[in-house]
Amino acid sequence: MKAAQIEDRARMMSRLLVERYYRELDAPEFSDRKVVYLFTSGGIGEFFRTFNFRIVLPEINAVHCARAKISREMIRYGEALGHINEMCTYVKSDLGLMVGPPKGNAPFGKIPPPDLVVINHCGCSTYIKWGEALAREFNCPVQIIDVPFLSEDRPTESEHKYVKGQIEELIPVCEEVSGTRFDPDRLQDVLKLTEEAISLWLKLLQYGKKRPSPFDSYFEGVVYMAPMTIWRGTSEAVEYYELLIEQMEQRLAASYSPVGEERFRLVFEGSPPWPTFTRFKTMFERWGAVAVASTYIRVVCACEGLTWGPDNPMDYLADLAAQSFYNWNHLKKINFIENLAKDYEVDGIVAHSVRSCRPISIGQLDLRKYFATEAGIPTLFLDSDIADPRFFSSSQIRKRVNTFFEALDKRRKRAAEVKKA
């Protein structure tokens, strides 16, 4: 099978699932279902599926605005509403789309207003004000699931009970808003599908250890994570990842590499610059560089070593709610990235700092210093933004990227000469 055919199947199915998600948000046959707004980091959409909510993810709307090249316009609308320049550009883009002149009408679909906003506060403090602004604008109830930052390697027993209790307290709220009684058996069935999808997802990430890696964990991974983000807890997600694993096996058999010839293996830290995603990707492809591992695709599902399973649904939900890379403490992040670098045998680390996102960017300079000086791993630091194209300087970033790979090339040649001697 040709590599292009393998590539097209994976991307096509992900795109179709995203299109179906947006189509069903505004489909007449689902209009009787209430709408809940959630956030992606630490998301537990499974809980709300059991109440037949239509689930809207404001961050995903902001991502698709950027990919559709309308984020700058939406950000201007957001700023016209009084939101300052320094605010997260996801927030301004989403509020510009929903509250500004478009009133939820986007090229990728019509976004319905919320009947309930749930702020799953996990890793991003901006969620609180973002959710409150949406609830205030659309005059709907707002609830919060406060997920403590992980001070240790895992949530403590008291932290786990704290999160679990908040989820249980949401049951009567969701029953009242949705008009649907809570069904614990249905929740358990949904979570069994989640467990299947997570197992397949974690298996997918392990393929990056192969040489050559059959997929790029950053530039392709963000496409592959879409069903995990918007369809987790459904048979659609399980079927997608079953197909994707099958495709990875086909790629392995064909010695396929997404860049043609794999020359450099990298770990990527940070989210992508969505408005200039393709341009950014090309800067690495031309050097034969593959992201064999990345942290961003663990924002939605960093679910290694969960304590609970579907047989204990509320405990499992509380476990899932805490599992976001950006909810981890700094030492846990450093150890995790360093282990990725060793396990995946990388040549370097790339950190993409996001100007308007503190949870992603705080500590990245410390990460770079540690890896470059103490761990001895070459590290490239880049900065732009997740949604605002004004902060992406192609010439500056291209120069840094080229300099980094020239240095890696020289480092490799010196090592070969030493070995030969």
- Quick one: which of 340, 342, 344, 338 has its CA closest to 209? 344
pLDDT at residue 6 in the model:
55
Residues of the chain with pLDDT > 70, as a percent, come to 97
Mean per-residue pLDDT, 132-145: 96
pLDDT at residue 368 in the model:
86
Neighbour tally for 85: CB within 10 Å? 10
The pair phi, psi for residue 252, each rounded to 5°, is -60, -45
The answer to whether the bond into 212 is cis (omega within 30° of 0) is: yes
* Rounded Cα distance, 39 and 19, in Å: 19
Tell me which of 395 and 42 has the higher pLDDT: 395
pLDDT at residue 301 in the model:
66
- Please name the residues in contact with 204: beta carbons below 8 A apart, sequence gap of 6 or more: 215, 224, 241, 244, 245, 248
Where in the sequence is the domain holding 370, given as residue range(s)? 3-420
What's the mean per-residue pLDDT of the chain?
92
pTM for the full predicted model = 0.93
Question: Nearest-5° angle of CA 43, CA 46, CA 50?
Answer: 140
**Residue 15, both tokens:** 């795109």
Segment 164-190, tens digit of pLDDT: 999 999 999 999 999 999 999 999 999
Segment 112-135, tens digit of pLDDT: 999 999 998 887 888 999 999 999
Segment 145-157, tens digit of pLDDT: 999 988 888 889 9
pLDDT at residue 365 in the model:
84
pLDDT at residue 83 in the model:
84
- Please name the residues in contact with 31: beta carbons below 8 A apart, sequence gap of 6 or more: none
Mean per-residue pLDDT, 217-244: 95
Segment 315-347, tens digit of pLDDT: 999 999 987 888 888 888 899 999 999 999 999
Mean per-residue pLDDT, 201-217: 96
CA 327 to chain centre: 13
pLDDT at residue 302 in the model:
61
Helix (H, G, I), strand (E, B) or coil at 418: helix
Per DSSP bridges, beta strands 109-110 and 289-294 are: unpaired
Segment 341-381, tens digit of pLDDT: 999 999 999 999 988 887 777 778 888 889 988 999 999 99
Residue 2 has pLDDT above 50, yes or no: no
Q: Which band of pLDDT confidence, cut at 50, 70 and 90, is reported for residue 303?
A: low
Residues of the chain with pLDDT > 90, as a percent, come to 77
Mapped to the 3 state alphabet, what secondary structure does 7-70 carry?
A: HHHHHHHHHHHHHHHHHHHCCHHHCCCCEEECCCCCCCHHHHHCCCCEEECHHHHHHHHHHCCC
Segment 68-89, tens digit of pLDDT: 999 999 999 999 998 877 789 9
pLDDT at residue 1 in the model:
42
How many distinct structural domains can be found in the chain?
Answer: 1
* Rounded Cα distance, 43 and 50, in Å: 15
